[in-house]
Chains A and B, each alone.
Chain A
Amino acid sequence: MLAAISPLSAGLVDGPVRVAGVLGVFPTALYLSVRWTGGEEVLPVVTSDGLQPPTAVRLPVPSGSLAEVGWGVAIGGTVSVGDGRIDLPSLGGISVVRQWRPSRVPRRPDASADTGWSPFAAARLVTGRIGLGPGLTPEGDDELCGALLVAHALFSGSNPLRDSVFRALGRTTSLSASLLRAAGDGYAVPELAAYVIARLDGRDDPGLRECVAAIGHSSGPALLRGVDLGLALAPSTDASTSARQAACA
């Protein structure tokens, strides 16, 4: 089976062959824990009909075509990864042939270096949320993801929220940590990126909002809350003003 990999994860599948652990098995996604020079990272492997996390290896076929065979592994099992391949025997092995382009919220050209945020306030925000709440990705993390995407767009360089989150990544699941790191750089699943871009443009499109709300079990509403949070905390831009107005309405 041929697959495309996110550039954010490219280094995980190149290099010498090593053993990866299976963290999670779902109909449309498989989560592997891969050891590499920088440490341990979560690598999602997803089918075309599921969510497309920005760090994923993407298979071109829907989960239905795996139905009989499935992923062929169970949680706690191991898989060989390296040399451009992921060794899942039930699929005849996965070979990476291309990099796909994960969705990204672009940095606004009028992004400012000065956030006006107090590092202590940011840290409080993070402490009260990171690793907390129900869900494979804890709800608190989802809120932080939403806020991080907004912060990435509005501020040039890093910002206190991103700094705080990155320092506290050890307090949450490795999967959630990888998504938080991606969000800190503006990367998200396509539905969420499209929604954040629209909100920054001053548009709260109900269709896009619904798409985000449907993500995961509890993630969707938490992501939406996070976006509102980010816009409310941001310095006065057109987008954040309208968000504040919307929040108060």
Chain B
Amino acid sequence: MPDHVTVRSGAYYDSVTLMQVSRQVAGVDGVSQAQVAMATELNLEVLHGMGFEIPSGTGGNDVVIAIRGTDQEAVAAGVQAAEEALLALASAGRQSASGFGAVPAPRTLGGALGSTGTLGFVSVPGLHATAEALDAITAGASVMVFSDNVSVEDEVLLKDAAAAAGVLVMGPDCGTAVVGGVALGFANAVRRGPVGLVAASGTGAQQVMSLLDAAGVGISHCLGVGGRDLSSAVAGRSTRQALAALATDPETEAILVVSKPPAPEVLAELEAYAAGLGKPVHWATLGPGRPDLTAAVEAFLASASLGVSALRSADATGSRWPHWDPLLEPAPTSLTTGGSLRGLFCGGTLADEAMLVAAPGLGGIRSNIPLSPDLALGPDLRDPGHVVIDFGDDTLTRGRAHPMIDPSLRLERIAAEAADATCGVLLLDLVLGHGAHPDPAPELGEAIRAARHTARTAGRDLPVVVSLTGTAADPQDLDRSAAALAAAGAGVYLSNGEATRAALAHLGHLSPTDPIVPVVTSPSPSLPEQLGQAVTGRAGLRGLLVNEPVVGSAGVSVFADALRAQAVTVVEADWQPPLAGVDPRDIVTVMADGRRGDANALALQRMTAAGADLVDVRPAREALGLERGTFLHAGPPIEWERASGPLRGALIGAILFEGLADTPEAAEAALASGDGITLEPCHHRDAVGPMAGVISPSMWVYELHDPVHDNRSWCSLNEGLGKVLRYGAYGPEVIYRLHWMNSVLGPLLQQAVRAAGGIDIKAIIAQMLQMGDEGHNRNRAGSLMLLRELLPTLITADGSSTDIAEAVRFSGANEHFFLNLGMPACKLATLAAHGIPGSSIVTTMARNGTDFGIRVSGTGDQWFTGPANTPEGLFLGSYGPDDANPDIGDSAITETGGIGGVAMAAAPAIVKFVGGDVPFALRATRTMYEITEGEHPAYQIPILEFRGTPTGIDVVKVARTGILPQINTGMAGRVAGTGQVGAGLVNPPAECFTEALVALARA
């Protein structure tokens, strides 16, 4: 049987969506096996187990399409189906992102919640759930965490943070909640009433809700707390908050807690706490020797607090709750029956309850979730005796969706039991409600009918009992579902306890109907003052229980769909796993750092408040104290051996210019030996230089001053276009021009600047952004405005009219004249934001032609580097991609300061020059808002309705979203002296950010 395996990168789909695609492909004629999945470790195991060979290097951010068919044609058809399905998904996602004015979907839960969200829903893989949940808590929203595989430590971290913020964490591993009448996750449409539920069990809560609804008693809310909340380690943190909130909720008159037995000390503490709340609190804790859930609900209803009169009495079969008799054909008396109970469940708690009810009568029941370890089933899950299986258990949901969504595994087992002579009765659960299969009863009914027929054909009778959890108002319609199952020959019971007893009766075990024993474990309230306070006091959990929820969701879209179907406002995040190489633990460590929120806010505030005045022009020797033989360069530290062409050429030229060597060969030798020569990044002296960015002692530099924070920064004078030092040219004309700039241009500019009393560069940046410039690759308006500021005092400077005219012509002819001022202005801004402990804001991005380096506010002067990428875009003349040097220059300081590529929406003209279009420019800027701390108050983009530019790149946001800062830059020729070969777009290498994150986690 031919196999086909392809791997695609660059797209992420959630697991449920891919399982649906897998099912689609598997349904193609001739396809025997199909798996379309993200290449996580788990899924790779499954694929290897299926016998597929996966190319090495395939990782969690890649999609694997693995198909096995009867022949090549079938495989090809399968591949086609997979491609079409994925294409449909991609274009559905892209629809909202294309077109002028459409905003890209947020990538994190924080983005989805925005400023109006009140409730988060997290269903991303457990490894990443903590980070998303922290987003909600930081935004002041409660959060439901459906994801499991969240560590206990993270659970405690989340719940402590939530308590401090006055919000609730429902989870982890919480699949069921109802808040203000809105069903969250797998939950039922229950009538509104006075009972508040607190549930550490999902299907347990659904069973209880359904019973209460059938009894005509509704619920106010059902707050999930996660399966582990009542353990010693978590100590009931969420339960406590939930109890307090329900106690102050005007709708709630009595509270029922549904769980497995809590740790004893936790129960004791909570009971004491509950006693002081002023409302009766009852406990339905399912465990050995304890009442089952139905009995607990009956006791709860019988207690005086709700004023519900005695329940209907039991009928002839001992049932007190709704049930539907099976439609049976007349049975020949010669049919035999097997002796064993076979319970096949989707809900773990229901399976547990069945075992607890049945064990006293039946003895040992083997299971994959056994009541004691000696009753564990083997890997084949078969045994001739009594068996109960939970198909929702982790081991059975590897590589497949939960049975409540994909029932196929259980249906197969039903057929198997039908052929098994030892099977005496089939006990099944079916849970209706939001989030579940839209109409599961007919398919299950068919399976039941087929199974009974198979057994009958073999001379056996196979009784089937179904416990059906649901309500009349559920989307699947309880009565219709029950009727379908009854028509198939199953006895159907709303109560799982009664269903289990009915199954036992088929095996000849009759259980007496238990008398109702009211078990109230907390005293009724008798303190009117407390109650008064409780009712009129501030609404708990920031109004979660009284206000209409506004939901943000990250993860599997079925849950957002279920919310939309209830007309709930929900914004879905387009969630993707973090950057490859990022340890999710580091993300959580940094997000949970108490300093970070304020530190980042301070960094943004200082960055945007910094001023930038051009105050002087003078030699670097004077301005920077640059020593003889020291040469500054762009980017992070680098040695001569690793330097690229343009940088080498520029250094050679600088050596010649300084007179330290007479020939290029001698200069090269000197640099290679390193004698008497020091290379240092411009940034180490608070300076910046474009392209190769070489500054030597004799070169004149612009000096800028930030009056707000009293910092200074410097940048070389721009040489113009063509054969220039910054592109690595070092011929005589280059050296000659440098000398002219020093002896004529520099002094004239110095006079002009000093006589003008300084020039406000920040003000020019603010204006140029509204005139089609972005400050990195397009500086025309800025250059003209700068010239306008300089002209009056330049003209009257002390110098010959020829010199002045040449200086004016030289400056005016250079459309990037302003770049050398914009860069140090941004340097001043980022300098002000640097050195704040706990801040994850990037304060330097720079390239030396070989490496790209960043520095972060909270990690001091440490560089985080990776190999510089080569820009992609359009080429000048006959140049091509092979002519381009990797990214080079300190000009990425513009993006770091909130202009340049991140402000591309302000400069549609430059986008065409780099091979994009106008919608692309808008999308680029809008995407940058996902990874920045905030918006610049002074730098605004007209087409975005004067929204401030995305400012303050946050390492954590980059790591979480995988969105790298967008840089728009010129391209240098690889060979020294070539000059500019084109312009294009480039991103920093991801390594810079993954390394920075590690350092932040340890800071």
Chain A residues near B (Cβ < 8 Å): 2-4, 48, 52, 58-61, 96-101, 103-104, 106, 108-110, 153, 190, 194, 197-198, 200-201
Measured CB to CB, the nearest residue on chain B to A96 is B567
Cα distance, A3 to B569, chains bound together (Å):
10
| Pairwise interchain contact A48-B180, C-beta atoms closer than 8 A | no
- A201 contacts B546, C-beta separation under 8 Å: no
Asked if A106 meets B535 with Cβ closer than 8 Å, knowing A2-B566, A48-B569, A60-B567, the reply is yes
- Given A52-B548, A97-B566, CB of A104 within 8 Å of CB of B535: no
The CA of A3 and the CA of B537, in the complex, are separated in Å by: 31
CB–CB B528/A109 < 8 A: yes
Whether B546 pairs with A101 at a CB distance below 8 angstroms is yes
Pairwise interchain contact A2-B181, C-beta atoms closer than 8 A: no
Check A58/B546 contact, CB under 8 A, given A100-B180, A108-B535, A200-B536. Answer: no
Q: In the complex the two chains form, is A201's CB within 8 Å of B537's CB?
A: yes
Q: Chain A contacts of B569 at CB under 8 A?
A: 48, 60-61
- Min CB gap B527→A, angstroms: 11
Name the distance in Å between B416's Cβ and chain A's nearest Cβ: 40
B250 at the A/B interface (Cβ < 8 Å)?
A: yes
Cβ contacts under 8 Å, A103 to chain B? 546-547
Complex CA distance for A148 and B663, rounded to whole angstroms: 94
Complex contacts, A201 vs chain B, CB 8 Å: 536-538
Please judge, given known A-B contacts A4-B567, A60-B568, whether A100 and B536 are in contact too, CB under 8 Å: no
Known pairs A100-B548, A104-B250, A197-B539; list 11 more (Cβ under 8 Å).
A2-B565, A48-B550, A96-B567, A97-B567, A98-B566, A98-B567, A101-B180, A103-B547, A153-B536, A197-B536, A198-B538
User: Known: A100-B181, A201-B537. Contact between A108 and B532, CB under 8 A?
Assistant: yes
CB B568 to nearest CB in A, in angstroms, measures 6
Q: How far is the CB of A23 from chain B (nearest CB, A)?
A: 23
Q: Is the CB of B564 within 8 A of A2?
A: yes
* 28 pairs, CB–CB < 8 Å, chain A vs chain B: A2-B565, A4-B566, A48-B550, A52-B548, A60-B567, A61-B569, A96-B567, A97-B567, A98-B181, A98-B182, A98-B567, A98-B568, A99-B192, A100-B180, A100-B181, A100-B548, A101-B180, A101-B548, A106-B250, A108-B532, A108-B535, A109-B528, A109-B531, A109-B535, A110-B528, A197-B536, A201-B536, A201-B537
What is the chain B residue whose CB lies nearest that of A95? B567
B564: chain A residues at CB < 8 Å are 2, 60
Would you call A97 and B565 a contact (CB within 8 A)? yes
Q: Which B residues contact A (CB, under 8 angstroms)? A: 180-182, 192, 250, 528, 531-532, 535-539, 543, 546-548, 550, 564-570
Kindly state the separation between the CA atoms of A99 and B565 in the bound complex, as whole angstroms.
13
Which residues from chain B contact A108 at a C-beta distance below 8 Å? Answer: 532, 535-536
Bound CA–CA A108/B533 (angstroms): 9
Complex contacts, B548 vs chain A, CB 8 Å: 4, 52, 58, 100-101, 190
| B536 pairs with A106, CB closer than 8 A | yes
- Specify which of B192, B532, B538, B567 is in contact with A109 (CB 8 Å cutoff): B532
Distance between Cα atoms of A3 and B564 in the complex (Å): 9
Taken together as a complex, chains A and B put the C-alpha atoms of A101 and B182 apart, in Å, by 10
Chain B min CB distance to A160 (Å): 23
Query: Are B567 and A58 within 8 A (Cβ)?
Result: yes
Which residues of A are found within 8 Å of B567, using beta-carbon distances? 2-4, 58-60, 96-98
Q: Which residues of A contact B570 (CB under 8 A)?
A: 60
B136 to chain A, nearest CB (A): 19
- B543 x A194 contact (CB < 8 A): yes
Chain A: minimal CB distance from B533 (Å): 9
Return the chain A residue nearest B537 by Cβ. A201
- Neighbouring A residues of B550 by C-beta, 8 Å: 48
* Nearest CB of chain B from residue A176's CB, rounded to whole Å: 23
Q: How far is the CA of A100 from the CA of B569 in the complex (A)?
A: 12
CA distance A60 to B550 in the complex (A): 9
In Å, the complex CA distance between A190 and B550 comes to: 14
- Report chain B residues within 8 Å CB of A58: 548, 567
When distances are taken between beta carbons in the complex, the residues of chain B under 8 Å from A48 are 550, 569
Interface centre among B182, B537, B548 (most CB of A within 10 A): B548
Instruction: Tell me if B566 and A110 are in contact (CB < 8 A).
Output: no
The residue among B182, B537, B567 with the most chain A CB atoms within 10 A of its own CB is B567
Closest to A52 in B: B548
- Complex CA gap A194/B567 in Å reads 24
Contacts A2-B564, A99-B181, A194-B543 given; does A110 touch B532 at CB 8 Å: yes
Q: What is the CA–CA distance of A194 and B539 in the complex, to the nearest angstrom?
A: 9
Nearest CB in chain B: distance from A15 CB, A: 19
A60 CA to B116 CA, complexed, in Å: 13
Q: In the assembly, what is the distance between CA of A104 and CA of B250, in Å?
A: 9
A2–B568 alpha-carbon span in the complex (Å) = 9
B565 / chain A contacts, CB cutoff of 8 Å = 2, 97
**Bound complex: CA A58 to CA B528 (Å):** 37
- The CA of A4 and the CA of B678, in the complex, are separated in Å by 72
Chain B residue at minimal CB-CB distance from A49: B116
Residues of B within 8 A of A98 (CB): 181-182, 566-568
Q: Give the distance in Å from the alpha carbon of A96 to the alpha carbon of B543 in the complex.
A: 24
Bound Cα distance A61, B550 (Å): 10
Q: Report the nearest A residue to B533, measured CB to CB.
A: A201
Residues in B with CB closer than 8 Å to A101 are 180-181, 546, 548
Nearest-Cβ distance from residue A183 to partner chain B, whole angstroms: 17
Inter-chain contacts of B546 with A (CB < 8 A): 101, 103, 190
Question: A153 to B536, alpha carbons, bound, how many Å?
Answer: 10
- A139 vs chain B, min Cβ distance (A): 27
User: Which single residue of chain A is at the shortest CB-CB distance from B534?
Assistant: A109
The residue among A52, A99, A101 with the most chain B CB atoms within 10 A of its own CB is A101
A198 to B182, CA, bound (A): 26
Question: Which residues of A sit under 8 angstroms from B250, Cβ to Cβ?
Answer: 104, 106
Complexed CA–CA distance, A198 and B539 (Å): 10
4 smallest beta-carbon distances between A and B, as pairs: A2-B567, A106-B250, A60-B569, A4-B567
Within 8 Å CB of B543, what residues of A? 190, 194
Residues in B whose Cβ lies below 8 Å from that of A153:
536
Return A125 CB to nearest CB of chain B, in Å: 25
Would you give the shortest CB distance from A61 to chain B, in whole angstroms? 7
Output the least CB separation between B95 and chain A (Å).
Answer: 14
Cα-based distance from A98 to B532 in the complex (angstroms) = 31
Minimum CB–CB distance from A195 to chain B (whole Å) comes to: 12
Instruction: Tell me, in angstroms, the Cα distance from A4 to B537 when the chains sit together.
Output: 28
Q: How far is the CA of A153 from the CA of B568 in the complex (A)?
A: 30
Q: Cα distance A19–B532 when bound, in Å?
A: 46
Q: Give the complex CA separation of A60 and B569 in angstroms.
A: 4
Name B183's closest neighbour in chain A (CB-CB): A98
B residues near A198, Cβ cutoff 8 Å: 538
Smallest Cβ distance from B918 to chain A, in angstroms?
A: 21
Please indicate which of the listed interface residues A59, A108, A197 has the most CB atoms of chain B within 10 Å of its own CB.
A197
Note all chain B residues with C-beta closer than 8 A to A99.
Answer: 181, 192
A200 CA / B250 CA spacing, docked (Å): 15
Q: Which residue of B lies closest to A186 (CB)?
A: B250
Cα A200 to Cα B570 in complex, Å, equals 33
Q: Which residues on the A side are within 8 Å of B181 (C-beta)? A: 98-101
**List of B residues within 8 angstroms of A190 by Cβ:** 543, 546-548
Chain B nearest CB, measured from A203 CB (Å): 8
* Residues from chain B with Cβ under 8 Å of A59 in the complex: 567
> When chains A and B are docked, how far (Å) is the Cα of A60 from the Cα of B537?
29
CB distance from A39 to the nearest CB of B (A): 26
User: Considering the chains assembled together, what is the distance between the CA atoms of A153 and B182 in angstroms?
Assistant: 27
> CA–CA, A52 to B569, complex, Å?
13
Residues of A within 8 A of B538 (CB): 197-198, 201
Residues in B whose Cβ lies below 8 Å from that of A3 = 567
A-chain residues with CB within 8 Å of residue B180 when the two chains form the complex: 100-101
B463 to chain A minimum Cβ distance, whole angstroms, is 38
Distance in Å: Cβ of B188 to nearest Cβ of chain A = 13
Give bound CA distance, A104 to B543, whole Å. Answer: 12
Set of chain B residues within 8 Å of A61, measured between Cβ atoms: 569
Q: Contacts of A109 on B, CB cut-off 8 Å? A: 528, 531-532, 535
Which of A58, A98, A201: most chain B CB closer than 10 A?
Answer: A98
Nearest Cβ on chain B to A237's Cβ, whole angstroms: 11
